[in-house]
């Protein structure tokens, strides 16, 4: 059977299936927050917001924590604008895989999968899926549907060969660049755009309030997801696609839509993913000035009966918006707000800057996921292949290498807690010290390090360009090896490291080479297994402020609670698990930048205890206050952590002590 005939038969079958789904009504493409899993659904990936076994929200693929080393690849521009042959496009993917990227984000345009109404063509999409399987990579599909970039744009950047609009003609038809009567603005008598749907304001901006357009785009994306599910089943079930971005910086040209309108439209389209047989996470991106309202609006929608089909909202941010490289690097930590169940991600940022690799670890230090834009800032075409186009490519490779040496631990741990990024700006040669007392002195100002308290008996150390780690004398090392964790999260030893046993309780210094990860086996790191309760998610928070500011980085979850130095502010946990009951230990994780010892009142099922908080030196350095308590069996325990009146008196005058930050409560 000829390829074209097979495609036509497939299109007919797909249309029949999708017609049945549409006839089924809103139960199929409904905008639901809590969905009943359909019989044949396969959940490939999702955002884990439970904080069960993790210190931050986690992406999971096939149930396992997944940390993306990610770059966007404009395969669409290679194809339509720059006329790259298939061999050269493949060589780009091969180069990215070789340099340590495990995920690529690739635009797929509406027109590319549906060039004519009801005629689907999977040639381009299948090429991408096949490349992912061949090079053992994962793909986020950037669904470029309606108003991506604010309006319907052309596939090619060439005005002489625009190819086609990014949507089929029935969605929007317009004369080509330079054609008679062509115009990109709505000028009476000079614009010949046409659509089955409503064109808004300018001839290239579609109406997001047109429900017929919304439903049609949902239908088409549903057909795409059905094809991906079938393709994967027929090609080894390797699950090459792990996420879908709905739109691209969607808004309205010249006359922006409200955030409510945009989020509602995109959430409805995303229902095609959530109701498919191949369920993956969904996300949307926006420019930096829209990030706060877009995140907040999506979280508001999440908490309505309808819910949201958008898992998270992220930012596109670029250096030209900042006065200096330092301020740009610093912004990597805090440019996406903590709110609700939103997974924080930088979805586009400069790949071509000489410090872009250092930006990646700056983002990690702020618990932000990171995606380079784009591959053309790192490589260029050379015949049917590619070559490096960036002097800093070795920095990118080294960052990818260390991140992929322990991806599960990178995915699960929050900076300043289980994980610490040393020299996060990538500009300093001085010693930096983690909360656990592990120090790192880089060999070069641009060398960065990561230390991880992996378990009670394990520490991981890694560095991009080398340096010296200092281990506190109180930690007794019994073994040191270098290597990496494999796909099953098991340590593969590549060699042993010599180290000097600490004498006279002196710290141990370990020299580390570039791109190296070391695993230390030791007697006791102080890490414990406990049931954890985040202060910001307590059942009640009275008179305390829930914050997530840079000065308090080191918190788990979405932030911490700032207690004033007056009596009566509290957080309360109503369902604390006492397991079998009896004596248990409660640990309060806190930070306190003052020089006195403020008091906390701990009320356990009505019984009161007092604990004093020792100074931690700064508000991003966290310690523990511990006490023994008696708990009832089961989850019928109520624990309140309350501020006392913390004042000091000088000549009878009362002065309030500094505020303290409560991160979490642990019970074991």
Range of the domain at 476: 419-522
Domain assignment of residue 329, yes or no: yes
Q: Are residues 473 and 544 in the same domain?
A: no
pLDDT at residue number 509: 95
Contact 71, 355 (CB under 8 A): no
Alpha carbons within 13 angstroms on the beta-carbon side of residue 140 total: 30
Q: Are residues 326 and 425 in the same domain?
A: no
Phi, psi (deg, nearest 5) at residue 486: -85, -175
Give residue 176's Cα distance to chain centre.
Answer: 38
pTM (two decimals): 0.93
Strand partners, 144: 109
Q: Are residues 482 and 461 in the same domain?
A: yes
pLDDT at residue number 546: 98
pLDDT tens string 516-562:
999 999 999 989 999 999 999 999 999 999 999 999 999 999 999 99
Contact 424, 448 (CB under 8 A): yes
Q: Are residues 427 and 279 in the same domain?
A: no
Whole-angstrom CA distances from 13 to 4, 38, 120, 584, 585 are 14, 20, 11, 61, 61
Domain assignment of residue 560, yes or no: yes
Q: Are residues 647 and 559 in the same domain?
A: yes
Domain assignment of residue 409, yes or no: no
pLDDT at residue number 15: 46
Q: Are residues 546 and 661 in the same domain?
A: yes
Residue among 113, 109, 106, 81 at smallest CA distance from 92: 106
pLDDT at residue number 37: 56
pLDDT tens string 498-510:
988 766 678 899 9
pLDDT at residue number 116: 98
Q: Are residues 518 and 535 in the same domain?
A: no
pLDDT at residue number 655: 73
Q: Are residues 435 and 508 in the same domain?
A: yes
Domain assignment of residue 640, yes or no: yes
Domain assignment of residue 91, yes or no: yes
Q: Are residues 348 and 485 in the same domain?
A: no
Q: Are residues 475 and 582 in the same domain?
A: no
pLDDT at residue number 176: 72
Binned average pLDDT, 10 residues per bin, the chain of 668 residues: 43 46 41 51 97 98 99 98 98 99 99 99 99 99 95 91 95 77 49 88 88 99 99 99 98 87 98 99 97 98 98 98 98 98 99 99 99 99 97 99 99 98 98 97 98 98 99 94 98 95 80 98 94 98 97 97 94 98 98 93 97 96 98 98 84 79 98
Q: Among residues 465, 497, 522, which one ends one of the domains?
A: 522
Alpha-carbon torsion 78, 82, 83, 84, what sign?
Answer: negative
Output the CA torsion 366→367→373→379 (10° steps).
90
pLDDT at residue number 657: 80
Q: Among residues 490, 522, 554, which one ends one of the domains?
A: 522
3-class secondary structure, 400? helix
Domain count, the chain: 3
Domain assignment of residue 225, yes or no: yes
Domain assignment of residue 1, yes or no: no
Alpha carbons 443 and 423: distance in angstroms, whole number:
11
* CATH number of the domain residue 363 falls in: 3.20.20.80
pLDDT at residue number 148: 92
* CATH number of the domain residue 509 falls in: 2.60.40
* CATH number of the domain residue 588 falls in: 2.60.120.260
pLDDT at residue number 175: 79
Q: Are residues 86 and 113 in the same domain?
A: yes
Q: Are residues 139 and 250 in the same domain?
A: yes
Domain assignment of residue 362, yes or no: yes
pLDDT tens string 403-458:
999 999 999 999 999 999 999 999 999 999 999 999 999 999 999 999 999 999 99
Q: Among residues 353, 377, 401, which one ends one of the domains?
A: 377
């Amino acid at each position: 059977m000829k390829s074209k005939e097979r495609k036509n038969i497939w299109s007919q079958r797909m249309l029949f299936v999708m017609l049945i789904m549409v006839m089924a009504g809103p139960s199929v493409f409904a905008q639901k927050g809590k969905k009943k899993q359909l019989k044949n659904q396969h959940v490939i990936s999702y955002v884990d917001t439970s904080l069960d076994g993790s210190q931050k929200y986690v992406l999971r693929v096939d149930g396992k924590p997944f940390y993306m080393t990610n770059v966007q690849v404009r395969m669409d521009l290679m194809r339509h604008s720059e006329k790259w042959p298939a061999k050269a496009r493949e060589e780009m993917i091969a180069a990215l895989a070789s340099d340590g990227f495990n995920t690529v984000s690739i635009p797929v345009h509406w027109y590319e999968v549906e060039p004519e109404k009801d005629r689907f063509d999977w040639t381009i999409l299948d090429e991408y899926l096949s490349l992912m399987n061949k090079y053992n990579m994962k793909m986020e599909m950037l669904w470029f549907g309606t108003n991506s970039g604010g309006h319907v744009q052309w596939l090619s950047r060439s005005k002489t060969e625009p190819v086609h609009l990014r949507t089929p003609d029935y969605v929007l038809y317009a004369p080509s660049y330079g054609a008679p009567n062509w115009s990109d603005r709505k000028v009476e008598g000079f614009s010949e755009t046409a659509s089955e749907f409503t064109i808004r304001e300018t001839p290239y901006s579609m109406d997001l309030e047109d429900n017929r357009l919304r439903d049609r785009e949902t239908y088409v994306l549903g057909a795409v997801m059905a094809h991906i599910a079938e393709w994967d089943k027929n090609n080894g079930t390797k699950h090459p696609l792990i996420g879908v971005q709905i739109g691209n910086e969607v808004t309205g040209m010249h006359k922006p839509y409200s955030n409510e309108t945009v989020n509602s439209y995109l959430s409805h389209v995303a229902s095609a993913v959530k109701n498919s047989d191949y369920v993956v996470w969904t996300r949307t991106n926006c420019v930096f000035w829209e990030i706060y309202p877009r995140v907040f609006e999506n979280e508001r929608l999440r908490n309505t009966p309808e819910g949201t089909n958008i898992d998270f909202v992220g930012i596109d941010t670029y250096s030209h918006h900042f006065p200096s490289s330092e301020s740009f690097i610093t912004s990597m930590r805090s440019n996406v707000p903590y709110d609700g169940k939103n997974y924080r991600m930088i979805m586009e940022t400069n790949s071509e800057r000489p410090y872009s690799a250092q930006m990646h670890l700056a983002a990690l230090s702020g618990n932000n996921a990171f995606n380079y834009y784009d591959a053309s800032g790192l490589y260029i075409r050379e015949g049917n292949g590619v070559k490096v186009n960036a002097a800093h490519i070795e920095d990118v490779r080294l960052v990818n290498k260390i991140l992929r040496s322990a991806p599960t631990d990178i995915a699960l741990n929050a900076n300043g807690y289980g994980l610490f990024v040393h020299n996060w700006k990538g500009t300093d040669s001085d010693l930096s010290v983690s909360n656990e007392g592990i120090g790192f002195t880089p060999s070069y100002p641009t060398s960065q390090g990561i230390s991880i308290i992996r378990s009670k008996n394990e520490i991981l150390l890694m560095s991009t360009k080398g340096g010296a780690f200092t281990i506190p004398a109180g930690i007794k090392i019994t073994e040191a090896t270098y290597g990496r964790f494999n796909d099953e999260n098991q340590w593969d030893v590549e060699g042993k490291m010599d180290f000097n046993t600490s004498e006279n309780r002196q710290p141990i210094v370990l020299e580390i080479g570039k791109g190296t990860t070391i695993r230390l086996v030791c007697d006791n790191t102080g890490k414990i297994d406990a049931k954890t309760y985040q202060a910001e998610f307590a059942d009640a928070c009275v008179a305390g402020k829930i914050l997530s500011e840079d000065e308090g980085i080191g918190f788990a979850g979405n932030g911490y609670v700032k207690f004033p130095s007056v009596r009566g502010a509290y957080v309360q946990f109503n369902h604390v698990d006492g397991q079998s009951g009896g004596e248990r230990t409660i640990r309060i994780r806190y930070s306190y930048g003052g020089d006195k010892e403020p008091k906390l009142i701990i009320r356990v099922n009505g019984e009161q205890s007092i604990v004093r908080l020792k100074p931690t030196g700064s508000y991003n350095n966290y310690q523990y206050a511990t006490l023994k308590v008696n708990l009832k069996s089961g989850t019928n325990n109520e624990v309140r952590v309350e501020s006392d009146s913390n004042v000091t008196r000088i000549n009878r005058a009362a002065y309030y002590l500094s505020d303290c930050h409560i991160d979490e409560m642990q019970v074991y």
